[in-house]
């Protein structure tokens, strides 16, 4: 074992989570913690690790940005033909993880991802900076390319082709909306005796009902 790495150790002392103080509604609990993360100086408070699986059950992860929580769905945007996009088309199960180091907190979410309606994706796409819109049109995300120059040439060519026009969202780019079936909220505590609460969806309709249980650290 590398002694320098194994010596890195930090006590987590910044907060606690109790059954009496957590919300009965996981979305409300998430909103509280996201709000704390947005105001505590965290570098990328909306960044989340999205895990998907291949058809033969191999997991893969990458970071994406949460762009909204709407109607009980966590929304992010990506290329539908990317590795994650293709995996979600074959198997919509997804896990999302937020880590807010400044707060010594993490949230895990598991659920089902589906494509956003085209009008939702259009609405978000139109708010993106011009260069990001061009980039989304020309990048064959996750495919092997020959060189950086190849992608820059494609970018310049597309920008010239669309000069003076509205840059439309390409069909292979848009949102995924994740409907959670499980949440876990983790607050670091001293001596590794962390607080963990799990919400599992007991009933989806007519109103979502959640079972809340404390987990061992």
Ligand X SMILES: Cc1cc2nc3c(=O)[nH]c(=O)nc-3n(C[C@H](O)[C@H](O)[C@H](O)COP(=O)(O)O)c2cc1C
Residues forming the site for ligand X (CB under 6 A): 44, 47, 60, 62-65, 76-78, 82-84, 141-142
User: Does the annotation place 187 within a ligand binding site?
Assistant: no
CB 87 within 8 A of CB 52: yes
Q: How far is the CB of 175 from ligand X (least distance, A)?
A: 10
Q: Helices 130-138 and 148-161, interaxial angle, to 10°?
A: 120
The whole-angstrom separation of Cα 2 and Cα 116 is: 46
User: Does the annotation place 211 within a ligand binding site?
Assistant: no
Q: Which is nearer to ligand X, 40 or 99 (CB)?
A: 99
Q: How far is the CB of 69 from ligand X (least distance, A)?
A: 15
Nearest to 173 by CA among 129, 131, 140, 127: 140
- CA 156-152-44 angle, to 5 degrees, is 110
Q: How far is the CB of 91 from ligand X (least distance, A)?
A: 14
User: Does the annotation place 202 within a ligand binding site?
Assistant: no
User: Does the annotation place 155 within a ligand binding site?
Assistant: no
Kindly tell me the number of DSSP H helices and DSSP E strands found in the chain: 6, 9
What is the β-pairing status of strands 93-100 and 73-79? unpaired
Q: Show which residues are catalytic.
A: 192
Q: Which is nearer to ligand X, 11 or 44 (CB)?
A: 44
Q: Which is nearer to ligand X, 32 or 83 (CB)?
A: 83
Binding residue ranges for substrate: 67, 124, 128, 132, 192-194
């Amino acid at each position: 074992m590398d002694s320098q790495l194994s010596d890195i150790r930090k006590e987590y002392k910044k907060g606690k989570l109790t059954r009496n103080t957590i919300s009965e509604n996981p979305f409300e609990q998430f909103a509280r913690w996201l709000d704390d993360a947005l105001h505590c100086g965290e570098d990328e408070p909306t960044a989340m690790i999205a895990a998907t699986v291949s058809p033969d059950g191999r997991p893969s992860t990458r970071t994406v940005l949460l762009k909204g929580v709407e109607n009980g769905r966590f929304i992010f945007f990506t290329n539908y033909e990317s590795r994650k996009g293709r995996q979600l088309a074959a198997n919509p199960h997804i896990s999302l993880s937020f880590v807010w180091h400044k707060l010594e907190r993490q949230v895990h979410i598991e659920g089902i991802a589906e494509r956003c309606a085209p009008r939702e994706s259009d609405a978000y796409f139109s708010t993106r900076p011009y260069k990001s819109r061009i980039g989304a049109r020309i990048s064959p995300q996750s495919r092997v390319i020959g060189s950086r120059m190849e992608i820059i040439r494609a970018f310049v060519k597309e920008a010239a082709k669309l000069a003076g026009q509205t840059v439309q969202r390409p069909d292979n780019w848009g949102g995924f909306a994740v409907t959670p079936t499980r949440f876990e909220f983790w607050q670091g505590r001293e001596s590794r005796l962390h607080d963990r609460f799990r919400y599992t969806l007991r009933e989806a309709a007519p109103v979502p009902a959640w079972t809340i249980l404390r987990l061992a650290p």
